[in-house]
Amino acid sequence: MEKTIDTAIVGTTDEILLFNAVGITAFPVKDASEAEKTITKLSQRECKIIYVTEELYETIPETIGKYQFSAFPILIPIPSGKGSKGIGLKRIADNVENAIGIDIF
């Protein structure tokens, strides 16, 4: 039986391996295609939260859309060592605007 993974991170750089130290299983990938396969496998293993580096997050819109309205897994973009592109904050702003009808950011 495979080990249950509740929280994971998927990214293209070795920087994500640091997350192993805090209990988040890291899955380094080479490209968007490999990331999509990894996210699908994690979903099948009932992973609850998957962090995805922003650079990679931008390249997999079909996968993001596939899980957008499902309870799990939750796909969360995070900045890499290169700095933030603001993708996570934009998602929050869009969700707030949809919920209350106005942009408060």
What is the structure's pLDDT at 9? 96
The full set of domain ranges for the chain reads 7-100
| pTM for this entry | 0.81
Per-residue pLDDT of the chain (105 residues; tens, 9 = 90+): 467 889 999 998 888 999 999 999 999 999 999 999 999 999 999 999 999 998 899 999 999 999 988 889 999 998 877 766 667 667 767 767 777 787 766
CATH topology of domain 7-100: Rossmann fold (3.40.50)
What is the structure's pLDDT at 1? 41
**Is the Cβ–Cβ distance between 2 and 45 less than 8 Å?**
yes
Burial class (CB in 10 A: 0-12, 13-18, 19+), 57: buried
